Amino acid sequence: MRVLHLIFGIYEALKTRNIDCILISEDNIGLVDKDGLKTNMRGFIGGASCVIDGKFILFGDIDYLRNKDTLVDFVKKYGLELVYFDGLEINDYGGIVILA
């Protein structure tokens, strides 16, 4: 699968530069289009989460992730508070940008 190779390639590039990262491969992260409508494509964890003010925010319910424990351990490692939304499917909205 081409996308998986791309994700793994990014992961490997970060690791070779001694950047601490984890590889989260999930097939149940939805992807929305530019109008906010759900598509039949799969999204990525990076677009389905963000870090703001010491909080790791997941756009959905962490219990939907097979790799939940890996993610929780990584978030705890950096002392971030985990915030997620019970009962909501996880969707990739493309990330978040804070305008100040």
- HSE-CB at 79 with a 13 A cutoff on CA atoms is 2
Average model confidence (pLDDT) across the chain: 88
Phi, psi of 99 (to 5 degrees): -105, 125
The answer to whether residue 51 scores a pLDDT higher than 90 is yes
Q: What predicted TM-score, i.e. pTM, was given to this entire model?
A: 0.84
Q: How far is CA 90 from the centre of its chain?
A: 9
The answer to whether residue 1 scores a pLDDT higher than 80 is no
Tokens for 26, please give them: 């999930």
Phi, psi of 73 (to 5 degrees): -60, -40
The count of other CB atoms within 10 Å of the CB of residue 68 is 16
Q: 60-79, pLDDT tens digit by residue? A: 999 999 999 999 999 999 99
